[in-house]
Structure formats: C-alpha cells, structure tokens
C-alpha cells in the first residue's frame, strides 16, 4: 500500500510539474502574442490616426485656398472634439501663426506627437501638430496581453485538472489496483517463503541432529557386532554367522545413509566460497578416483577443455563426483561405456552436461530423480538415492538449475547451469542424441 501511495504521489507530482511547465510555456507564449498584438495595435492605431489626421489636412486645403480660415478653425475644433482619445491639435501657418489650437481633454499623459504638413501644389499651407494620448491604448494593449496570458494559464490549468481526472480514471486507478494486488501477492509470497525457509531450516536441523545422534548407537551396534564376529564366531553356527554378517552389513548401510544425510544437511548450511575453478580438472580427478575403485572397467571418459566457472570448489567437487559417479555406475553394463563432461552456450548462458551411454531411465519418472532416497532402479545398482538430490541442492545454491534427458537403454544426460538466469527452454534432443 505504501508503494501505491508513493506511486500516486509521484504521478500527481509529475502531472503537476507538467501542467505548471505547460502553463508557464503557454503564459509566456500568451505574453509574447500579447506583445506582438500590442505592437500591431500600436502601429495600426498610429497609422489610422495619421490617416485621419491626413484627411483633416486634406479637408483644410480647400478652405485655405479660399482664405476661409474660420472653416479650418471649425474643422479642427470639430474634429478634435469628436475624437474619443485625449487629443490636442495645433494648426500653424507657414509664418508661425497658431491659426487654431483645439484640445478635447485637459491632460495628455502618454503622448504621441505627430507633425503633418498640409500642402497644395508643393506649397505648405499649414502644419498640423497633433499630440494624442496613447495611454488608453497602452492600457488596452497591456490588458489584452494579460487577458491572453491569464486565459491561457487558466485553460491549461483546467485542461491539466481534466486530464488528471481522465488519467486517474482510465489509467492510474486500474494501475494502482493492479500494483496493490501485486504487492499483496508479493507480501503473501514473502511470508510463505519465510515460513518455508524456516520450516526447511528446522527440518534440516532436525535431520542433522537425528543423523548425528543415530551414528553413536549405530557405531555401537556395528562395533559390538564386530566383536561378536571376531571373538565369538566359533560359538555361532553358520546361520548365526550369516545373520551376524547381514546385521553388520545393514548397520554399515545405515551408517552410509546417515553420512549421506549429514552431507546433504551440511551442503545446505555451508556458506559458499566461489572462486574461479577448472571444472574439467575436477572431473578428471573424479574419473581417476572411479577408475581406481574399479580398475577392471574400460570406460571412455571425455572432458571438454576450458570448463572454467566461479564456484565453491568443495561443493562442486561433490556435485561432479555424484554426477560422474552416477554415469559410471549406470554404464557398468555397457562394455563400451562412454562418459562425456562438456558445456555449450545456450540462450546467453553456459549449460554444462554429463552424458553417458548407460541404462538410462524412463522420463515418466524424471520428477523423482532429484528427490532424496528415491531410486529409479531399485537395488539393481548400489546407492542410497541421495546423490542427485545433493547435486540439485549444490547447483541451486550456485544459482543454477539441473534437468535430465534420457530413455531406457539409451543412456542419460544431465544438464545444469551455474548462473542466476531464468531457466531456458530444455536443450534440443539433437544436442545429446549423439552421446546417448
């Protein structure tokens, strides 16, 4: 909800800034337009005034030629009195005599002075000196400019307000509702994740504790079974010794299971220490170790060059040991066993793979591959069913993901990434077909 309020405030502020900027722009434009209009009005007004004054001069020519000065006086007086603006007109004869001087107002504040000679046949008969008041005109110009600017600003503000309303109705409100819903879901998801993490930690802690605590009595069982086997074997018949041996094997098997559980738990708890690592070298070490355990097997191992990644070396060694160990194990029945570890670029990320030509598995059960203690091949092959779960945990802790492609009798390919990028589409079958 806090995010919604923030969004709303930001939107409102952005719109306000936009409207203010627009209002300023339009106001400035209005002022400029008003000034231009004012200039036009001034020029137009001055031109009109000069034209009308010129007409007065033309009307004066005829009576002047008839020496009818009184008519000129009356013309000027009448013209001045009928003018709406404050005006003073003085008619001066060529010898400097003021023939007429008429004024329709007492004060002429903001004046415009014009001298207009009245001529006939290139002879100046009279000079009309007019002083007119342009303050009313200037006020009108200012008023026009102000009105234009204010109207523009008002219109823009009104427009902005209407736009804000429309925007809220058609865009922001649905967006806010969606954001609120998403935030609600995210919040719920975070809560659920936290709950899950807590539960997982508790479960891992519980597993670790149980596993750890189980080891002591198990060692006692195994130890005392060994004592019985070594010191009291003659007291038992063959069947008893068989039972005793099976009991010891079961105890050891349980010990291995506990070790695996502890490894899985440790893997989850341990802090990552990523460094640049040659994964190929790790794989080679792993292959050597496997070959030492079963020197009689002939397995074609292929490791690509340049498989360098920033990983936690210890964890990645465990992961590769498990993946390569699986491949080794499930290709045991193929006399021409072949295991390949490599990588390819796919959708901008590096996809590593471990492929073998072993027994493979049915993809219908692929979802059980990475679950602890789930085994697709039952007791046909040794193992506790914890290895791939461990590998998945390690890959996920590196921000990657793992998946597998296989078919029964066709070998298997395990693909994994080590980045945080979203999962790409599963690799094409043709990429692994040749290795299966």
Partner 1 sequence: MNRPWLSSLSACLAGVLCLASPAHADLVLGMHPFKPATRLVEAFTPLTQYLSARLGEPVRLHIARDYQEHIDATAIGRYDFAYMGPSLYVQLRSLHGARPLLARQQIGNSPVFRGKIFVRADSPVKRLDELAGKRFAFSDPRSTMGHLVPRHMLWQAGVRVEQFAAHKFVGDHLNIALGVLAGEFDAGAVKEDVYYQYEKRGLRALATSAPISDHLFVASHRMKPAQVQQLRALLLGMHQDAEGRAALHAITAGISALVPVEDSDYDSLRAVMQTLQELGVRI
Nearest distance, CB of residue 73 and partner 1, angstroms: 7
Q: Which is nearer to partner 1, 94 or 409 (CB)?
A: 94
Residue with tokens 């009279």: 126
Q: Which is nearer to partner 1, 66 or 169 (CB)?
A: 66
The two tokens of residue 87 are 């005006």
Q: Which is nearer to partner 1, 74 or 215 (CB)?
A: 74
Q: Which is nearer to partner 1, 57 or 360 (CB)?
A: 57
Nearest distance, CB of residue 44 and partner 1, angstroms: 29
Query: b/e map of 100-126 (b: 16 or more CB within 10 Å)?
Result: bebbbeeebeebbebebebeeeeeebb
Residues 6+ apart with CB under 8 A from 359: 330, 331, 333, 334, 377, 408, 409, 411
Q: Which is nearer to partner 1, 70 or 209 (CB)?
A: 70
Nearest distance, CB of residue 91 and partner 1, angstroms: 9
Nearest distance, CB of residue 160 and partner 1, angstroms: 53
Nearest distance, CB of residue 64 and partner 1, angstroms: 9
Distance, in Å, from the CA atom of 79 to the CA atom of 67, rounded to the nearest integer, reads 20
Q: Are 50 and 114 in contact (CB under 8 A)?
A: yes
Q: Which is nearer to partner 1, 95 or 234 (CB)?
A: 95
Q: Are 299 and 331 in contact (CB under 8 A)?
A: yes
Q: Which is nearer to partner 1, 94 or 217 (CB)?
A: 94
Nearest distance, CB of residue 55 and partner 1, angstroms: 17
Q: Which is nearer to partner 1, 73 or 278 (CB)?
A: 73
Q: Which is nearer to partner 1, 77 or 183 (CB)?
A: 77
- The distance from CA 138 to its chain's CA centroid, rounded to whole angstroms, is 56
SS3 411: coil
Nearest distance, CB of residue 126 and partner 1, angstroms: 8
Long-range residue pairs from 181-189, CB within 8 A, at least 24 positions apart, any chain: 183/1, 183/3, 183/4
Q: Which is nearer to partner 1, 66 or 192 (CB)?
A: 66
- Residue 310 C-beta-side C-alpha neighbours within 13 Å: 7
Sign of the Cα torsion 150, 152, 153, 154 reads positive
Q: Which is nearer to partner 1, 74 or 374 (CB)?
A: 74
**Positions in the binding site for partner 1 (CB under 8 A):** 66-71, 73-74, 78, 93-95, 97-99
Nearest distance, CB of residue 60 and partner 1, angstroms: 12
Question: Which 8-state DSSP code applies to residue 426?
Answer: P
Nearest distance, CB of residue 164 and partner 1, angstroms: 58
Long-range residue pairs from 380-387, CB within 8 A, at least 24 positions apart, any chain: 381/329, 381/330, 381/332, 382/329, 383/329, 384/256, 384/257, 384/260, 386/257, 386/260, 386/261, 386/263, 386/264, 387/260, 387/322, 387/325, 387/326
H or E segment at 99?
A: strand 98-103
Nearest distance, CB of residue 98 and partner 1, angstroms: 8
DSSP letters of 129-162? EEEEE-HHHHHHHHHHHHHHHHHHHHHHHHHHHH
Nearest distance, CB of residue 124 and partner 1, angstroms: 12
Strand partners, 349: 346
Query: b/e map of 286-307 (b: 16 or more CB within 10 Å)?
Result: bbeebeeeeeeeebebebeeeb
The two tokens of residue 307 are 């498989």
């Amino acid at each position: 909800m806090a995010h919604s309020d923030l969004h709303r405030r930001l939107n409102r502020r952005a719109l306000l800034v936009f409207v203010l900027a627009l209002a300023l722009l339009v106001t400035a434009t209005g002022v400029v337009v008003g000034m231009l209009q004012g200039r036009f009005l001034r020029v137009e007004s001055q031109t009109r005034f000069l034209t009308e004054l010129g007409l007065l001069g033309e009307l004066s020519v005829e009576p002047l030629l008839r020496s009818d000065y009184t008519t000129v006086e009356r013309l000027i007086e009448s013209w001045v009195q009928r003018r709406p603006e404050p005006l003073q007109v003085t008619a001066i004869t060529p010898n400097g005599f003021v023939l007429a001087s008429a004024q329709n107002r007492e004060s002429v504040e903001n004046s415009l002075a014009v001298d207009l000679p009245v001529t006939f046949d290139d002879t100046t008969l009279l000079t009309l000196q007019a002083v007119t008041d342009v303050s009313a005109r200037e006020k009108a110009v200012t008023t026009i400019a102000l009105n234009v600017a204010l109207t523009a600003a008002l219109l823009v503000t009104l427009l902005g307000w209407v736009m804000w309303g429309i925007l809220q109705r058609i865009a922001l409100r649905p967006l806010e509702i969606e954001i609120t819903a998403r935030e609600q879901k995210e919040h719920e998801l975070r809560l659920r994740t936290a709950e899950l993490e807590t539960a997982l930690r508790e479960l891992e802690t519980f597993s670790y504790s149980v596993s750890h605590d189980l080891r002591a009595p198990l060692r006692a069982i195994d130890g005392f079974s060994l004592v019985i086997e070594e010191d009291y074997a003659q007291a038992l018949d063959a069947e008893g010794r068989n039972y005793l041996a099976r009991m010891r094997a079961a105890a050891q098997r349980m010990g291995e299971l506990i070790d695996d559980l502890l490894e899985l738990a440790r893997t989850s708890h341990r802090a990552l220490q990523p460094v640049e690592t040659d994964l190929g070298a790790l794989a080679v070490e792993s292959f050597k170790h496997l070959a030492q355990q079963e020197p009689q097997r002939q397995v074609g191992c292929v490791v690509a060059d340049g498989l360098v990644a920033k990983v936690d070396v210890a964890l990645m060694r465990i992961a590769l040991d498990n993946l390569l160990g699986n491949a080794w194990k499930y290709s045991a029945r193929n006399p021409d066993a072949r295991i390949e570890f490599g990588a390819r670029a796919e959708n901008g990320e590096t996809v590593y793979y471990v492929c073998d030509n072993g027994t493979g598995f049915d993809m219908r059960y692929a979802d059980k591959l990475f679950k602890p203690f789930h085994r697709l091949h039952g007791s046909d092959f040794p193992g506790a069913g914890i290895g791939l779960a461990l590998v998945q945990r390690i890959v996920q802790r590196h921000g990657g993901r793992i998946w597998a492609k296989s078919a029964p009798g066709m070998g298997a390919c395990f693909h994994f990434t080590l980045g945080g990028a979203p999962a790409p589409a599963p690799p094409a079958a043709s990429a692994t077909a040749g290795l299966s």
